Structure 1
Amino acid sequence: MQPQDSGVQYSRWKDGSRDEVNVVAVANSGEASRCERVCRKLCTGKLGITMKVLGGVALFWVVFILGYVTGYYVHKCK
């Protein structure tokens, strides 16, 4: 159903009782672009966990500051 060079292969047995899906990782270090290599480095392993935690903390503070400023102007005494 899928071409052989794609990363996902699907096959259905004739009796219909079983489906099988295979995901094949197609990754050659020579074919990976610079962006893919940087993303893979920053999004996996201990560095990836650290980046996600720092991103979450930064997002928390941005939302907190926006809420504080918005609340200040909404509830400001006239």
Structure 2
Amino acid sequence: MQPQESHVHYSRWEDGSRDGVSLGADTRSVSSTEEASYCHRISQKLCSGKLGIAMKVLGGVALFWVIFILGYLTGYYVHKCK
């Protein structure tokens, strides 16, 4: 039985606040780290600042209308006269 070889890939972004460590011998771990950082940047942009507040307000208004319409339709069919 031979011991498995593995390596540690350590990367540091320029702002110094995020460190990435991935374990493994294939290149998929590096691409998944890059993909995760891309998704993290997109979520940071959409969920913080003025754009984040606008997205949360629009999401809340849309959720309100969906619940309102479902409640209206449910009440209409429950209380419909026969």
State the TM bucket, normalised to the shorter chain.
0.5 to 0.7
| TM-score, length-scaled by structure 1 | 0.60
Partner residue, 1:14: none
Distance in 2 between residues matched to 1:72 and 1:27, nearest whole Å: 53
Alignment counterpart, residue 57 of structure 1, candidates 44, 58, 61: 61
Q: Deviations over 1:20-78 (max 9, x none)?
A: xxxxx8426x9661111110000000000000000000000000000000000000010
Q: Does residue 57 of structure 2 align to residue 66 of structure 1?
A: no
For residues 27 and 45 of structure 1, the distance between their equivalents in structure 2, rounded to whole angstroms, comes to 20
Gaps of 5+ in 2: 1-15, 20-32
Q: 1: distance between equivalents of 2:72 and 2:42?
A: 35
The match for 1:40 among 16, 20, 44 is 44
1:34 and 1:74 map into 2 onto residues whose CA distance is: 48
> C-alpha root-mean-square deviation of aligned residues, in Å?
2.2
Q: TM-score, normalised by structure 2?
A: 0.58
Tell me how many residue pairs correspond in the alignment. Answer: 53
Identity over aligned residues, as a percent? 74
